Amino acid sequence: MATLSQLNIFPCKAFQTTVKHNKLTSKPSILPLNCIKTTQSLINKSQFLTKQSIPEGPVFQVRAVEGEEWVPDKEEEPVTESLGVAVAEEEKPKEVVEIEGLKRALVDSFYGTNRGLTVTSETRAEIVELITQLEAKNPTPAPTEALPLLNGKWILAYTSFPGLFPLLSRGQLPLVKVEEISQTIDAESFTVQNSVQFSGPLASSSISTNAKFEVRSPKRVQIKFQEGIIGTPQLTDSIVLPENVEFLGQKIDLTPIKGLLTSVQDTASSVAKTISSQPPLKFSLSNSNAESWLLTTYLDEELRISRGDAGSVFVLIKEGSALLTP
C-alpha cells in the first residue's frame, strides 16, 4: 500500500478534513484533494484489472455428509459404456450388406422348387438374376487358389442340371424321398465325393461317386470319376402302425392286427442286423464318359455357385451355415 509520503509526490493542492468520532478526537488529517481523486482512480483501475484478469469460474456445490462418501449431483457416464455403444453402432461395409441381402433373397427364392425340379418360369428368371448379381460381386475371384474355402461338405440347394431331375422326381413318390444331395471336397487329397441320401418307410440308403479333380484355371477344375458306391441299406427294425387309417372316407381300426406284427417285427430286426453289417457295394467308373468340368463363379465361407456342362448351374450351401435354416 502506498504511504503518505509517496502520494505527496504528485503536485496537488491541499485541503483539510476533519474526522469526528463519538468518543475519541483525533488531530486533523491533511491530504491534498487532487491526491484523493488520483488515489481513488488508482483503486478503481486496480479493481477493474483484477476483475478482467481473473475470469469467473464455475460454481461448485459441495455437500458433506458424515459417514457417507461424497457423490456429485450428476453422475458422469463411464467411458467404457460410450465406447461400447460406438462399437455396437459400427456399420458393416456397404458391399458386405448388399451381398448378404442377395444371398438371403436367393435362398428364399428356392422355397417350393424341390432343388429346381418344380420351379416356375417367373421364379427361374428371378433366380438367374440373383445369381448373376452375386457372380458380379464374387469376393473370391480365384476359387482354385483358395482351396481352404472349397474344402468341406456342401449341400445342394438348387440346380438346373437336367441329369438330376429324374432322381429328384423319384423323391415325389410316397415311398421314396431324397433326403439330401451333397458334395464333399477334400482339398488336400484333391478328391470329390457326390452323394445322394434316400429314405423310405422300411429302409434308408445312399448312392455316391468318388472322383479326383485337377486345377485347370483360377476358376475351373477337371473332374474324373473313379468309382460308384451303393451304401448298405439301413433297415428299420420296428414297424409302428397308427391306431387307425382313413380309406375312402372311412376310418379303419388297426388295433386287432397289431398282435400279428410281433413275429414280423422280430424277423425284420434280424434281417436288418444282417444286411446292415454288409459292406457297401462298389463299382468302377473308368469309361470315357466319367469326366466333367466345373467352373466356380462365386465362393465365400457359406455359399458356392458353380457352372457345369451345357451351362448348368449348381448352388450349394456349406454344411452348418445359417442359410440352411428357413
Q: State pLDDT tens for residues 226-282.
A: 999 988 887 765 555 566 656 555 666 666 656 655 555 566 666 666 766 778 888
Q: Hey, what CATH topology would domain 95-232+279-324 get?
A: Lipocalin (2.40.128)
**Average pLDDT of every residue of the chain:** 75
Closest CA to 315 of 97, 128, 125: 128
User: What crossing angle do the helices spanning 94-109 and 121-136 adopt, rounded to 10°?
Assistant: 160
User: What local confidence, expressed as pLDDT, does residue 1 receive?
Assistant: 46
Q: Give the DSSP H or E segment for 40.
A: helix 33-53
Does residue 223 contact residue 293 with C-beta atoms inside 8 Å? yes
User: What local confidence, expressed as pLDDT, does residue 198 receive?
Assistant: 87
Virtual torsion, Cα 307, 313, 317, 318, nearest 10 deg = -20
pLDDT of 297 above 90: yes
Q: 183: which 3 cell numbers?
A: 458334395
CA distance 176 to 233: 13
Summarize pLDDT for 11-57 with one digit per residue, the tens: 444 444 444 444 444 444 444 545 445 545 555 544 544 444 445 55
**What is the value of pTM for the model shown?**
0.63
Query: What are the residue boundaries of the structural domains of the chain, listed by start?
Result: 95-232+279-324, 240-278
CA distance 219 to 234: 39
Does residue 184 contact residue 153 with C-beta atoms inside 8 Å? yes
Strand partners, 30: 16
Of the listed ranges 26-35, 91-100, 220-229, the one predicted with least confidence: 26-35
CA distance 169 to 165: 6
